[in-house]
Structure 1
Amino acid sequence: MDSENLILRLFDVNAVKFGTFTLKSGIESPVYFDLRVMVSYPDIMDAVADTLFDTAKKSGVEYSVLCGVPYTALPIATLMAVKQKVPMVIRRKEAKSYGTKKMIEGAFQEGEVCLIVEDVVTTGSSVMETAQSLAEVGLKVKDAIVLLDRAQGGADRLRDSGINLYSAFDLPRILEVLHAHGKITDEVVKSVKAFIQENMVNLPQEPAAKKPRREYLGYQARAELCQHPVAKQLFGIMEDKQTNLAFSVDVTTSSQVLELADQVGPYICVLKTHVDILEDFSSTFIQSLQDLAEKHNFLIFEDRKFADIGNTVQHQYSSGMYKISEWSHITNAHSVAGPGIISGLKAVGGAKNRACLLIGQMSSSGNLATGEYTKATVKMAEENSDFVIGFISTSSLTPDPTFIHMTPGVKLSEGKDNLGQQYLTPAEVITNRKSDIIIVGRGIYQASNPAEVARQYQEAGMKAYHQLLEGETDR
């Protein structure tokens, strides 16, 4: 069955419908896809499996294992796996509360490349959630195939997250075929095309001339777009020092912190601290740290991870032993408490030109900062861009060039530790996932020569950055 006849067959079994439909987002759509009905038609399932396999083959996609996005794509991926003799894994919607409690079921090896199979893509969120779950168990995701791309920007959004999307056909192609065969009228075609244009995902909030897409912009150009002084300063440092390296100095004495900061200072744009693990914290230490930040031109980021109600975080940020708002250019917060946490921090840090990062994703295995949580976090950031300058994340979460993404868990070679930390390379983080800053801790401070290793990370990070600017990737 060729693609034209497959489209006609999908229309015949009401997998493609036209009318007025309320989508999950609450938006009214003139077209609806109910592809679950396919499972009742073996000829369609067989054709879909063959079509998606051919799509992957023609696109030159390389993979060793398949994974269908739950639930509609699961039978499609299963049929592909059986027909093509390719191993498959299953991603659960949620982990079991008993037994192995795994999110990913099946046999595989760490480092294998997994191809994601999906039925319909609108925003790409389901594909990204699946990719995140696969990454947490050590599977690599570079590509996804989909039967139908609604052509509303999901492919661009996935590309911004380091995933290439290949579709068997898109919504305009469906309109073309059905119209040519007299299945739909001119008015329906016009209505659906207007809907596509009016409901694109991830459009910039301001005119494109003011906020162009981020992926081709250098640090200097992005600095010029930023309104927040800390974001502007940080991009300026990254350009001037030619570094996208943040050093997480997770040691337990003030003298160790200061010694390491002085050694690696020339190679970093940000020094990330955890002052509550210091055994000898003092105001003298803070003054010395600020002096080193000025000497080597880097920003201080206290990784406090605030996670309480607004009134409480106000006091945690401004008072107590550490008085973080007095000396840290940047801090961060979980969005789990809602927008009140941002308001509380902003009430203290706003007047002092401090900035906040929201934790949109985490690098630890089994974390819950995924899916709808991540989407809600991005929305909070967009609504508070006068204080929030970006995210802690494992990939780019928005194309807005004024937001910065910092990714933890980076090493020169991939792997994980015995506590569930997942490590990614600078090239994977910067070039493929389009994050902005690599955060490195143990890889530097446990080295016999921290300064030399920091230089190596600086060079690796900038090489990846220049590859991104030149349009190169590892795929």
Structure 2
Amino acid sequence: MTDVAAILSSCKAMLTGHFLLSSGKHSSQYFQCARLLQHPEKAAEVVATVADRIKADVKAGKLAVDSVIGPAMGGIVVAYELGRQLGTPAFFTERNDEGVMALRRGFEIQPGEKIIIAEDVVTTGKSTLETAEQIQAMGGVVVASICVVDRRPADAEEPFPWPLYAALRQPAVLWDADACELCKEGNTPAVKPGSRKVF
């Protein structure tokens, strides 16, 4: 059995400290999956833990998949690798000039196309839900979503009305900025290691 946490640690993709997340919340842990994705063989091994479960569900008739879409930036490589392993097309959404997640670059969705949304990390599910809106507006059907790390808090409700397949479930400890325990300790300021603007 693949030890996903060990692989992430070996790539220095699993960080501990005081972090400001794109959601505006603070956390004591951060996953920088770009550090995993720079190693194609390790990334393929991690994504395979999800792809194998999807293949089993397809074979059992529980799921049908036509393509994979990943929200830019974190979902692009994950979507490509999942598409490669499933034998389906893979493409991506990206934010337009208004900051809205959109399908661009000539990518098209056919009416009724069954799509999996691929992410690197799911914390609130915001990017996945924004991508789902775009897919549904174009007539596609979201059948599942996947991520390398599902870091929703342990008591979080299911974020989507479809299955979420995660290579690793690692609940995060999250605080609102004005109630952050690490800020109260005052030892280290929160750092923003990600690439997305904090809203």
- Bin the TM-score by the shorter chain: 0.7 to 0.9
Q: Which residue of the partner structure matches residue 93 of structure 1?
A: 95
**Pair 106,11 (structure 1): closer, same or farther in 2 beyond 3 Å:** same
Q: Is the 8 A contact 2:116 2:144 kept in 1?
A: yes
Tell me if structure 2 keeps the 8 A contact 1:121–1:154: no
Alignment-derived partner of residue 130 in structure 1: 131
For the 8 Å contact 1:91–1:104, the answer to whether it is kept is: no
Please report how far the alpha carbon of residue 170 of structure 1 lies from its aligned counterpart in structure 2 after TM superposition: 0.5
Q: Does 1:148 align with 2:149?
A: yes
Looking at structure 2, the residues matched to 86 and 3 of structure 1 have their Cα atoms a distance apart, in angstroms, of: 24
Higher helix share: 1
Task: Tell me the distance in 1 between the aligned counterparts of 2:145 and 2:31.
Answer: 19
Q: Distance in 2 between matches of 1:146 and 1:41?
A: 17
Residue 38 of structure 2 aligns with an amino acid whose one-letter code is: S
Superposition RMSD in Å: 2.7
- Structure 1's 25 and 75: CA in aligned 2 closer, same or farther, altered over 3 A? closer
TM-score of the two chains, using structure 2 as the length reference: 0.72
Structure 1 residues 42 and 135: alpha-carbon distance in aligned structure 2, compared to 1, 3 A threshold: same
TM-superposed deviation, 1:155: 5.6
Q: Return 5+ residue gaps in structure 2 as ranges.
A: 177-198
Task: Map Cα deviations across residues 131-188 of structure 1 (whole Å, 9 max, x no partner).
Answer: 0011111111132112211132666132xxx33322222105xxxxxxxxxxxxxxxx
Alpha carbons 2:71, 2:118 under 8 Å: kept = yes
What SS does structure 2 have at the residue aligned with 1:54? helix
Q: 1:3 to 1:62 in 2, by over 3 A?
A: same
Aligned partners of 1:95 and 1:163: how far apart in 2?
Answer: 29
Distance in 1 of aligned mates of 2:75 and 2:112: 23
TM-score (norm 1): 0.33
SS in 1 for 2:165: strand
Task: Give the match's secondary structure for 2:142.
Answer: strand
Q: Counterpart in 1 of 2:31? A: 33
Q: How many residues align?
A: 169
Change (3 A) 1:41 1:119: same
Q: CA deviation at 1:82?
A: 2.6
Shift of 1:64: 1.1
CA deviation digits over 1:377-420, x for unaligned, max 9?
Answer: xxxxxxxxxxxxxxxxxxxxxxxxxxxxxxxxxxxxxxxxxxxx
How far residue 62 of structure 1 moved from its aligned partner, in angstroms, is 2.0
Equivalent residue of 1:63, what SS?
coil
Relative distance call for 1:112 and 1:95 in structure 2 (3 A) is: farther
* Identity over aligned pairs, percent: 25
Partner SS, residue 95 of structure 2: coil
Look up the match of 2:191: none
- Contact between 2:2 and 2:46, CA under 8 Å: does it hold in 1? no
Would the aligned equivalents of 2:109 and 2:139 in 1 still touch at CA under 8 Å? no
Structure 1 stretches of at least 4 aligned residues deviating more than 6 Å after TM superposition: none
1:433-463 alpha-carbon deviations (Å, 9 max, x no partner): xxxxxxxxxxxxxxxxxxxxxxxxxxxxxxx
Question: Larger Rg: 1 or 2?
Answer: 1
Gap runs ≥5 in structure 1 = 173-191, 200-375, 377-475
| Counterpart contact for 1:66–1:86, Cα < 8 Å | yes
1:197-251 deviation digits (Å, cap 9, x = unpaired): x67xxxxxxxxxxxxxxxxxxxxxxxxxxxxxxxxxxxxxxxxxxxxxxxxxxxx
